[in-house]
Amino acid sequence: MPSCPSDTLPAGRPDAPQLAVAGALLTLLRDTTTEPRADIQLEALTLAVAADLPVLLWGEPGIGKTAALTQLATALDLPLTTVIASVHEPSDFSGLPVVGDDPAVQGVPMAPPDWAVRLVRAGRGLLFLDELSTAPPAVQAALLRLVLERRIGALRLPPGVRIVAAANPRSSAADGWELSPPLANRFVHLQWAHDHDVVVRGLGGTWPRATLPALDPERLPEAVAFARRVVCEFLVARPGLVHRLPNGESRRGGAWPSPRSWEATLRLIAFATAAGSSRDVLSLLVRGTVGDGPGLELLASLDRMDLPDPEMLLADPAGAGLPERGDLRQAVLDGVVAAVRRRPERARWDAAWALLVRAMETGAPDVVVVPATTLASLRREDWAVPAAIEQLAGAVSLSRRADEAARRAARTTGARR
């Protein structure tokens, strides 16, 4: 927006009408700029809406949910329809019964409200159901039919319409509404929080402008294959997590794992992969779909899938790339030693030693000690000690120092106990 040119300001004219002055002041106040800023909340919301899953935003009132929806509608190029649920009656969503001339012949049609007719006629749009949790129970019941079956009275929303709902968290909701487990299972739950810095900077005149994820058409088949592999491998290893109803009072109303929510997870992983989104975005989405515990476990197994394959490392120890982070590096080395244990052969044993030396040269030495001890114990009688072991002397002395410290600590703590 261009800054207000001074000649439109009626400041110099004392006889200017008050409303014109007020208008000029409002124009000045609206004169803000934007700056690019990564916003993982908005990115997660965009992906879930693009994936055509019903999203439920949990957030305190006045936190900027509507502003986010406006930005999302612009990004997806969809007209935004906002419906404040708490000011409507149930019949506004289930349809008004209109009695015709001969109900026995024609039946009683359920007339939909005007905004629904407009949405259906447009064929596309973003429908935002605000204040879901402060509506009376009968209104909520009618709304949920709209969200889950996409029906308003006699109309059915076309596939081009996407639905987002917003609710206040249980602790601040005046009417204590909560989702029953079947309903909670159908939503992607996103916690909406405000970022203090963003708000302060925005009030100062600069609002963030999020660059929203775009799906890459070239990556679609790869994304689907990846998502299927991730979810299936995980559920093979953890069959107990396929279906687990929430237990305990504090977990009511939230996301929980079921075949339905795993399917939604699969879809979200594919979308996040095709859009090249970060793990932080994926974490919000997955935890909002199957719940914190199962979501974190899935993410942990994703991290493990990112690690290099032990067999590949053993095949080419010289060209191996090891992860930077100490804990991941130890996981990789443990995996290599385990692979040698599974199929102990002289060449593989030597390759593992070469890998340990490489790890020793490129990172912290304490990470190498435990895998080296285990690998040494796998030696067969006729295998000669490889020359590479010389280069692990640093690790050996490190281990000796730690042993000594342990002995000393055992003496002192033992004496104290």
Binding region for other proteins (CB under 8 A) = 89-91, 96-99, 136-139, 170-171, 173, 175-178, 249-251, 278-280, 282-283, 292-293, 296-297, 299-300, 303, 324-330, 364-367, 369-370, 394, 397-399, 401-402, 404-406, 408-410, 412-413, 416-417
> To the nearest whole angstrom, how small is the minimum distance from the Cβ of residue 405 to other proteins?
4
| Residue 285: CB minimum distance to other proteins, A | 11
Q: What are phi and psi of 187, to 5 degrees?
A: -100, 155
Nearer to other proteins, 136 or 181 (CB): 136
Which residues, including other chains, have CB under 8 Å from residue 181's CB and lie 6 or more apart? 245, 246, 252, 256
The percent helix, strand, coil of the chain (3-state, each to 5) is: 60, 10, 30
Q: How far apart are CA 371 and CA 364, in angstroms?
A: 13
Pick between residue 26 and residue 364 the one whose CB is nearest to other proteins.
364
Of residues 145 and 170, the one with the C-beta less far from other proteins:
170
Provide the sign of the torsion angle of the four alpha carbons 255, 257, 263, 268, taken in this order: positive
Between 97 and 259, whose beta carbon lies closer to other proteins? 97
At its nearest, how many Å lie between other proteins and the CB of residue 307?
13
Q: How many whole angstroms separate alpha carbon 253 and alpha carbon 51?
A: 22
Nearer to other proteins, 139 or 264 (CB): 139
Parallel/antiparallel/unpaired status of strands 110-111 and 155-156: unpaired
Distance of closest approach, residue 236 Cβ to other proteins, in angstroms: 18
Write the DSSP string, 26-42: HHHHH--EEEE---HHH
CB 264 within 8 A of CB 281: no
Give the number of other CB atoms < 10 A from CB of residue 273: 21
Nearer to other proteins, 79 or 276 (CB): 276
Smallest separation, CB 40 to other proteins (Å) = 9
The least CB distance from residue 399 to other proteins, in Å, is 7
Phi, psi of 236 (to 5 degrees): -65, -40
